[in-house]
Amino acid sequence: MLSFGLTIHLVEPTTGLPRAVLEPFVHTRLWPTIEASGPGVHELTTATITDPHIGTVWRGDSRLSLCTTDAHELGAFAPVETGTAWALQLGFSVTAGTIHERPDERPDERPDELPDELPGGQP
């Protein structure tokens, strides 16, 4: 069994905003096809947002810990430090955007057909 701990201690309301709210809104859009053969939409996008509404913003401290076990090496992924914790309500409209990548349209890195023999004469 693996476990982790996350502690957020919200100290005070603030008029500041977390940096993530001010940065471009980048996300992966996934929407399955009706035939369930894979995602109908699979895109990495940057969204243009309008009409943002932000509720009360709280700021505080955070702590994240990962367990260590003999079977797993999760300690290698433990954070060196954690930043400020934020809690807020956020609403907005997505009115446009840019598609940066459609993974399903990337050129296949594998050849269409494998050779009859591999290097060294092995079939």
> pLDDT > 70: what percent of the chain?
73
pLDDT in tens, 26-38: 888 888 888 777 6
- The count of structural domains within the chain is 1
Residue 111 within any structural domain of the chain: no
**Cα-flanking dihedrals φ and ψ of residue 56, to 5°?**
-60, 135
Q: What is the pLDDT of residue 73?
A: 72
CA distance 52 to 24: 13
Residue 59 within any structural domain of the chain: yes
Residue 55 within any structural domain of the chain: yes
Residue 121 within any structural domain of the chain: no
Residue 34 within any structural domain of the chain: yes
41, 31 Cβ separation under 8 angstroms:
yes
Residue 116 within any structural domain of the chain: no
Give the β-pairing of 85-87 and 57-66.
antiparallel
Looking at every residue in the chain, the average pLDDT score rounds to 77
Q: What is the pLDDT of residue 122?
A: 46
Domain limits at 80?
Answer: 4-105
Residue 123 within any structural domain of the chain: no
pLDDT in tens, 80-101: 888 888 888 989 898 888 988 8
Residues of the chain with pLDDT under 70: 1-3, 38-39, 68-72, 104-123
Q: DSSP states of 55-120 as a string?
A: --EEEEEEEEEE---SS--GGGG--S----EEE--EEEEEEEEEEEE-GGGSPPSS-SS--SSBTT
Residue 119 within any structural domain of the chain: no
Q: What is the pTM of this model?
A: 0.53
107, 75 Cβ separation under 8 angstroms:
no
